[in-house]
Amino acid sequence: MIDFEQDTEQEQAAGPTDSDLRKVATLAERQVELEAEVEHLADELKQAKERLRKVAEVELPELLLNELNMSMFALADGTTVEVKDSLKCSVPKKNLKQVAQWLVDHGHGALVKRDVTLPFDKGQEQQVEDLTNMLLDNGFSQFAVNEAVHTGQLKKLIQELEEEGEDVPLSMFGAYHHKASTVKKK
């Protein structure tokens, strides 16, 4: 009779076999190859996005608007190409406090989101609960207040303010106007 448990215990006591070590080495090599492939594909994706941006925001709008004096074009198969004004917005981290203050000063403080982060150790559950009522009175001195502005909401606000004729500091907001083409297949 074969005792499989005894065989397994003996194999484990002897350590990994050459076959086991080859499998580990093969899988480790495969992991390194896949990590390199992912890095390469991420770089290719970044380059493809830049090529797309160039065609959609520079080449096609310039051709239609400047050379053909058109903002829309329809192909024989029903595909439409249209160039519209667009707004990009990405608040630079270095301007975040200034942007938040501008929004508050101009009555749009609701767009500024604030997070308070505090470090707590295990077993301080009651202090966490008490904190919601009295932060500083409970002896917490290490905390950070992080502000953020949702760029989609900011973009909408900028568009509304500009439509109302307000002067908006676009560069502070990391915002700029550009032309962008859209292609819709039928």
83 forms beta bridges with 181
Q: Give a yes or no: residue 62 inside a domain.
A: yes
Q: Are residues 64 and 95 in the same domain?
A: no
Q: Are residues 65 and 101 in the same domain?
A: no
Q: CB of 90 within 8 A of CB of 172?
A: no
Q: Are residues 132 and 105 in the same domain?
A: yes
Q: CB of 40 within 8 A of CB of 32?
A: no
Domain final residue, candidates 14, 43, 70:
70
Residue with structure tokens 């500091």?
169
Q: Give a yes or no: residue 112 inside a domain.
A: yes
pLDDT score at 133: 66
Q: CB of 150 within 8 A of CB of 111?
A: yes
Q: Are strands 80-89 and 175-184 parallel, antiparallel or unpaired?
A: antiparallel
Q: Give a yes or no: residue 75 inside a domain.
A: no
Q: Give a yes or no: residue 132 inside a domain.
A: yes
Q: Give a yes or no: residue 82 inside a domain.
A: no
d(Cα 70, Cα 74) in Å, to the nearest integer?
11
Q: Are residues 132 and 53 in the same domain?
A: no
Q: Are residues 53 and 91 in the same domain?
A: no
Q: Are residues 31 and 97 in the same domain?
A: no
Which residue segment(s) compose the domain that 169 sits in?
A: 87-186
* Per-position pLDDT tens, the chain of length 186: 566 566 556 556 678 999 999 999 999 999 999 999 999 999 999 999 999 999 999 999 999 999 999 999 999 999 999 999 999 999 999 999 999 999 999 999 999 988 877 777 778 878 767 776 677 776 766 666 667 888 999 999 999 999 999 999 999 999 999 999 999 998
d(Cα 63, Cα 96) in Å, to the nearest integer?
37
Contacts 24+ apart (CB under 8 A), 123-129: none
Please count the structural domains in the chain: 2
Tokens of 16: 């990994």
Q: Are residues 101 and 44 in the same domain?
A: no
Q: Are residues 95 and 3 in the same domain?
A: no
φ and ψ at residue 185, rounded to 5 degrees: -80, 140
Q: Give a yes or no: residue 171 inside a domain.
A: yes
Q: Are residues 59 and 115 in the same domain?
A: no
Nearest of 90, 71, 80, 96 to residue 147 by alpha carbon? 96
Q: Give a yes or no: residue 7 inside a domain.
A: yes
φ and ψ at residue 73, rounded to 5 degrees: -145, 135
